[in-house]
Amino acid sequence: MAHLMPRNTAIKLIDKYGTNCPFEIAERKGIIIIFESLGGSLGYYTCYKRIQSIHINDNIDETLQRFVCAHELGHSLLHKSENAPFLKKNTFFTTNKNEVEANTFAVELLIPDKCIYEFKDTSVTINEVAQTYGVPEEMCNLKKIDHIK
C-alpha cells in the first residue's frame, strides 16, 4: 500500500503534463530548480513562504541529476509543507517513510509502465530497464511490476 500514493501521483502527473521529464514538470509547476555545489549531497527540496525550490548538485552526472530532480519533485508533491533533508547516496537505502515515498515516486515517474511493456517479451531485466531510464540500480525494487503481464 505504501507504493500506491507515489505511484498514482506519478501516473497523474505524466497524464497531466504529457511527459515524465522531472525538469519539465517542475518548471511547469513553478518550482525553481537550482544547480549548485553541494559537496557530498545530491540535492534537497525547500518550501519557504510558498516558494518551492529543488536544489541539485551540479557536480554529479546528468543522469543522476534527473533522478535527484524526480526524487525532490516527489517531496514537493507528497510532503509539500516539509523541507526535505539533503539526499545522499546512502539515502537510497533508508527506511524513512518520506524518503522511501520520494524514491518510489521518482522510480514510477522515470520508468512508467509503458517503458516496462516495451521490454516484457525480452530477456531484459528490470535493472537493465532502470539503467536505460537513468534510475539507480539500488532503486529497482521500488518499481511495481507485478500488475504487468
Q: Could you state, in order of their start, the residue ranges of all structural domains in the chain? A: 4-139
User: pTM score, two decimals?
Assistant: 0.85
The Cα–Cα gap between 86 and 55 comes to 9
Question: Is residue 107 within 8 Å of residue 126, measured between CB atoms?
Answer: no
Tens digits of per-residue pLDDT, 22-73?
Answer: 999 999 999 999 999 999 899 999 988 889 999 999 999 999 999 999 999 9
CATH architecture of 4-139: Orthogonal Bundle (1.10)
Burial profile 86-124: b = 16 or more Cβ within 10 angstroms, e = fewer: ebbeebbeeeeeebbbbbbbbbbbbbbbeebeeeeeeee
Provide, rounded to the nearest whole percent, the portion of the chain with pLDDT above 70: 84
Known catalytic residue: 138?
no
- Asked whether the predicted pLDDT for residue 2 surpasses 60, the reply is no
pLDDT at 82: 63
Q: How far apart are CA 8 and CA 1, in angstroms?
A: 11
Q: Choosing from 72, 99, 101, 108, which is the catalytic residue?
A: 72
